[in-house]
Amino acid sequence: MEKKRPLILITNDDGYLAKGINSLIDSVKDLGDILVVAPDGPRSGMSSAITSLQPLRAHLLKDTPEFKLYTCTGTPVDCVKLGINELAERKPDIVLSGINHGSNAAVAVLYSGTMGAAMEGAVFKVPSIGFSLLDHSVNADFSATSKYIKLLTKQVLNNGLPNGTCLNVNIPKGNNIEGIKVCRQTSGQWVGEFIKSKDGANKQIYWLTGEFANDEPHDENTDEWALAHNYVSVVSIKVDMTNHKHLEEIKDWEKLV
Residue 63 forms beta bridges with which residues?
68
pLDDT in tens, 25-60: 999 999 999 999 999 999 999 999 999 999 999 999
CB burial of residue 209 (10 Å; 0-12, 13-18, 19+): exposed
Q: CA end-to-end span of the chain, whole Å?
A: 63
Q: What are the pLDDT tens digits along the chain (257 aa)?
A: 567 899 999 999 999 999 999 999 999 999 999 999 999 999 999 999 999 999 999 999 999 999 999 999 999 999 999 999 999 999 999 999 999 999 999 999 999 999 999 999 999 999 999 999 999 999 999 999 999 999 999 999 999 999 999 999 999 999 999 999 999 999 999 998 899 999 999 999 999 998 999 999 999 999 999 999 999 999 999 999 999 999 999 999 999 98
Contact partners, residue 245, CB within 8 Å, separation at least 6: none
Sign of the C-alpha dihedral, residues 169, 142, 60, 12?
positive
- Cα radius of gyration rounded to whole Å, the chain: 19
Residue 231 forms beta bridges with which residues?
179
Superfamily of 7-186+217-240 according to CATH: Survival protein SurE-like phosphatase/nucleotidase (3.40.1210.10)
Rounded alpha-carbon distances, angstroms, from residue 130 to 81, 155, 166, 186, 192: 16, 14, 8, 17, 27
Answer for the pair 70, 58: CB distance below 8 angstroms, yes or no: yes
Tell me the pTM.
0.95
Domain boundaries, the chain: 7-186+217-240
